[in-house]
Chains A and B, each alone.
Chain A
Amino acid sequence: DAKTTQPNSMESNEEEPVHLPCNHSTISGTDYIHWYRQLPSQGPEYVIHGLTSNVNNRMASLAIAEDRKSSTLILHRATLRDAAVYYCIPSSYNFNKFYFGSGTKLNVKP
């Protein structure tokens, strides 16, 4: 499994953009980069995933470095509901191989 390095915690003000970094220098060439988040007392929730190109969806954007050794999840306008632990997971679609590290705990201030 590709190991990841994420900040333990980050803080943001409401309605400001948030950039959540992830280093995954041992990622294999066929692994996708998945992002999930876990709100307090809830199960994880899919956010976004990508392989090589930057990706956008209604929740977030994913910027992937050209060498694929790092990526950044971008929340364009943080809301209080975005306060959660964000997990970066380099993996194929084999969910039994998903490795949830410690993630980044995002705190959003009003």
Chain B
Amino acid sequence: NAGVMQNPRHLVRRRGQEARLRCSPMKGHSHVYWYRQLPEEGLKFMVYLQKENIIDESGMPKERFSAEFPKEGPSILRIQQVVRGDSAAYFCASSPGATNEKLFFGSGTQLSVL
């Protein structure tokens, strides 16, 4: 059973470009979480999605950031018009239910904005 898959592993963008980060949860998991980790800091919650629904986006910046988890396909975290401050590691996690005991993380996408 494959774990949580994130791609790309590394993404380089110039300021003003768009970044699309993809996350395929573990098989059978319908709950997806996105976290961001700035250099030398802990992970910060961004958004919680179930299939076709955003449940909690309280950690998402108000502008330029959006997330989706369509009925078919991976979850996408989209950052429009990237700025240098968006450079960070973005981690996706999944769980089979809202109150599962464990959260399973992917290896992350390292976004670098030039």
Contact = CB atoms under 8 A, between A and B. Distances in A.
B114 interface: no
Contact of B43 (A41, A42, A93, A100): A100
A102 B42 contact: yes
Nearest to A102: B42
A103 interface: yes
B102 interface: yes
Contact of A43 (B45, B95, B106): B106
Contacts of A87: 42
Interface in A49-95: 49, 87, 92-95
Contacts of B101: 49, 93
Interface in B39-74: 41-45, 48, 55-56, 58-59
B42 A100 contact: yes
A95 B43 contact: no
Given A42-B107, A42-B108, A95 B42 contact: no
Chain A interface size, under 10 / 10 to 19 / 20 to 34 / 35 or more: 20 to 34
A100 B102 CA distance: 15
Interface string B2-27: 00100000000000000000000000
B102 A96 contact: no
A102 B107 CA distance: 19
B48 A44 contact: no
Given A45-B105, A94-B98, A98-B103, 18 more contacts: A36-B103, A41-B107, A41-B108, A43-B108, A44-B43, A44-B93, A46-B102, A46-B104, A93-B98, A93-B99, A93-B100, A95-B31, A96-B45, A96-B55, A96-B58, A97-B45, A100-B42, A102-B41
